[in-house]
């Protein structure tokens, strides 16, 4: 996917996970959008993009969620 000016990628991976991440970020007031690299919609090519000004906050939310999930796995 070509870079979209003014937007930052905060996640790359499986589409279903990208959808959950985007919804979680949107619930926090972040304008998150899911895009796919493949026009045929393979589930492995999804990206979550957010406006550059919201990228650090979005990444912090994602990191905190991942840390909490890792602690639950212990």
Average pLDDT, the chain: 88
Distance from C-alpha of 62 to C-alpha of 24, rounded to nearest angstrom: 9
Q: How confident is the model at residue 41 (pLDDT cuts 50, 70, 90)?
A: low
Distance from C-alpha of 45 to C-alpha of 59, rounded to nearest angstrom: 19
Q: Which of the residue ranges 23-37, 39-53, 56-70 would you say has the lowest mean pLDDT?
A: 39-53
Distance from C-alpha of 58 to C-alpha of 47, rounded to nearest angstrom: 13
The reported pTM is 0.82
Distance from C-alpha of 63 to C-alpha of 56, rounded to nearest angstrom: 10
pLDDT at 74 > cutoff 70: no
Q: Is CATH 3.30.70 the classification given to domain 7-73?
A: yes
């Amino acid at each position: 996917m070509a870079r979209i000016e003014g937007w930052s990628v905060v996640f790359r991976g499986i589409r279903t996970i990208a959808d959950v991440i985007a919804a979680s970020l949107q619930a926090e007031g972040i304008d998150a959008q899911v895009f796919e690299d493949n026009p045929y919609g393979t589930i492995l090519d999804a990206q979550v993009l957010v406006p550059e000004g919201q990228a650090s906050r979005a990444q912090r939310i994602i990191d905190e969620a991942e840390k909490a999930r890792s602690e639950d796995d212990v």
